[in-house]
Structure 1
Amino acid sequence: MEIKRFLERIPGGMMVVPLLLGAIVNTVAPNALRIDGFTQALFVDAVPVLAALYLVCAGAQLNLRSFGTSVAKGVTLLTVKWFVAVIFTLLAIWFGGESGLWLGLAPLAIMAAMSNSNGAMYMAVASQYGKQDDKAAYSILVLNDGPLLTMLAFTILGFMGFVEGMFSIMPFISVLIPLLVGVVLGNLDGKMRDFFVSGSDMIIPFLAFALGMGIDLTAILEGGLSGVLLGVFTLIFTGGAAFFVFKLFKWNPIVGAAEGTTAGNAVMVPAVIAAANPAFASVEAVSTVQVAASAVTTAILLPIALSLLVKLTGAQKNTLTENVTSNDITSEKVN
């Protein structure tokens, strides 16, 4: 039974299939793997550890001479996603009805969902289709986690002032440290780099399954059509904008499109913003549900969209990746 060969025939299969399996298990039998011990640690609670380990592996493949490109890619993705989110938030504010909703969507939900991206999903896509600097760009993308960019947008738009304690530098540092550990080891010893490269391949399916175990497919039903619509908007417009900007800069557009997601932790953003400014309290509940539905919708649709993009653009893995040699620190191994 050639499981690996089957998965490799599906664009992003090492990520897509385990993620969907995890989501199905979590929806149908959420407690089946939540039995404590090693089982729960690996299949349910492993996302932070596996993501951190993946960052070490990604850092080991990074050539310090290309770090400037990593920063440029990260800042570009962060800016494009935030700018598109602001545009749609303004549309919702301008054209919202008496209820304050536009197409059934709350401006707060739009900003929170479209500006926050799923980091684990991005890393999985970058692993299969990207290069070292695409992976290292995540150290910048982590800045869109949480309420920071939503708060910044509403501050600029004049709806709230800066609130002390809403942003901490520690999440950024916590992501940067594992990456730097890998960078140091990989640049000091080519054999260590090869060792970490070989290990990074195995991490992805386990990371994807654990990520799926955090997705409840019923959130789509609870969020209604408006939440699904928000997910579709996020996928098409933030992912699409990043795709074309990356293509313009002659970077890998498939990796850019991976930003068309909503992070699961974006669900808490409406509550944080409402706590900071009571003016948002009336839309906190509906915004939370819509953001949750968007997170699930994008997690399901992004792999499908990437598969179509790969076919439409004629992209092949061997044109998007590089081979690893112990003498070439700028190369990498991809599933």
Structure 2
Amino acid sequence: MKIMENVQKVPGGMMLVPLLLGATLTTLAPGTAKFFGSFTAALMTGILPILAVFFFCMGATIDFRSSWIVLRKSGALVGTKVLFAALMGMIASHFIPPAGITSGFFAGLSVLAIVASMNDTNGGLYMALMNQYGTQEEASAYALMTLESGPFMTMVTLGVAGLGNFPWQAMLGAILPFLIGFLLGNLDHDIRSFLGKAVPVFIPFFAFALGNGLNFKVIANTGLLGILLGVTVVVLTGSVLLVADFLTGGNGRAGVAAASTAGAAVGVPVVIAAIDPKFTPVVASATALIATSVLVTAIITPILTGWWARKFNNRSPFSKKLKVQQEG
């Protein structure tokens, strides 16, 4: 049986399928973890420990010796997305109550869902697209994007927007495993190779644990809204990322490829709520919305990136217009 091969055919399958399995188990048999207890309960509910090890290993994969050109490109894309997410969070906070919207089509929508879905780029998807359509420099911009894979940047964004209250110890604690992994990975390349191999392994495990915190009733109630959120992420963040890419010498394809929601963003709401309890009421709905956004952007972003790369074929979309102006 080619189970893994079939799972990988689904966009974001290694994240999405275990998540849906966990949600199915919780919906049909909500007392399973408590019934079995022990290691089974830990596997089903141990989100934070699994994510901690995931971020530790993720940090080890980053090479400190990235060139300035790479840092410029990745810094522009990451910085643009974080600042734009903060702006959207500030705007949304004037219309959305702290406990989220509770009725109508937008029921379940919260500032946390908006910020987390826009803040985190699917770095793996970006790197795969740039390896296919872009340059080595653009693919290497993945280095700083890994910083978005987790709650730290979301805390920074919410803090910048004045929407969250996170003590410095909590913010440091959220990124400390990542930093330790980063340090060890750069001190010893064997450690980087060893820990780097574990990164994809942890994805289905924390996805399954996250799924066990969901219920299909919540997903059903936010599904269409999640699709809209995913499309919004691509359109809005893609637009500002295009500008950032142009300003750093690109032709736009890297900006389009970065307009997605990271799979790891699904785990952000539960971590944020553990640090600032005022976000607890929106954790379930935000997680469901973000999960849908991950899937939607995983489908749309590759299609748009391929179209852009074919249409402009390694040149700026402004090059023809500029040529005509010069000839005139």
Instruction: Give me the TM-score of the superposition, normalised by structure 1.
Output: 0.65
Whole-angstrom distance in 1 between the partners of 2:176 and 2:195: 16
Aligned AA for 1:42?
L
What is aligned with 2:321?
none
Pairwise mapping of residues 244-283 of structure 1 onto structure 2 (< 5 A)? 244-248=239-243, 249=245, 251=254, 253-258=256-261, 263-265=268-270, 272=278
Cα distance, 1:42 vs. partner?
A: 1.7
Q: 1:247 to 1:254 in 2, by over 3 A?
A: same
CA contact (8 A) 1:270 1:288 kept: no
Contact 2:184 2:191 (C-alpha < 8 Å) held by counterparts: yes
Distance 1:11 1:31 in 2: 30
Partner AA of 1:215 in structure 2:
L
Aligned to 1:296: 288
The equivalent of 1:208 in structure 2 is 207
CA contact (8 A) 1:115 1:149 kept: no
| Distance in structure 1 (CA, Å) of the matches to 2:109 and 2:297 | 23
Root-mean-square deviation (CA, aligned residues, Å) is: 4.1
For 2:106 and 2:28, locate their aligned partners in 1 and report how far apart those are by CA, in whole Å.
28
What percent of counterpart residues are identical? 26
Aligned to 2:183: 184
Q: How does 1:151-166 map onto structure 2 within 5 Å?
A: 152=162, 166=165
Give the counterpart letter for 2:146 in structure 1: K
The unaligned stretches of length 5 or more in structure 2 are 128-141, 308-328
The one-letter amino acid of 1:152's match is: G
Q: Structure 1: any 5+ residue segments left out of the alignment?
A: 94-99, 154-162, 274-286, 316-335
TM-score normalised according to structure 2 size: 0.67
Question: Alpha carbons of 1:199 and 1:272: their partners in 2 closer, same or farther (altered >3 Å)?
Answer: closer
Report what 2:83 is aligned to: 79
1:229-240 equivalences under 5 Å are 231-240=226-235
Amino acid at match of 2:231: I
Q: Distance in 2 between matches of 1:150 and 1:183?
A: 25
1:118–1:43: structure 2 CA closer, same or farther, 3 Å change rule? farther
Contact 1:230–1:294 at 8 Å: present in 2 too? Answer: no
The equivalent of 2:42 in structure 1 is 41
Amino acid across the alignment from 2:30: P
Equivalent pairs, count: 274
Change (3 A) 1:110 1:195: closer
**Pair 1:16 & 2:7 matched:** no
Secondary structure of the equivalent of 1:30? coil
Judging changes above 3 Å, is the alpha-carbon distance between structure 1 residues 72 and 179 closer, same or farther for their aligned structure 2 residues?
A: farther
* Residue number in structure 2 paired with 1:64: 64
Q: Alignment partner of 1:174: what SS?
A: helix
Aligned partners of 2:242 and 2:255 also within 8 Å: yes
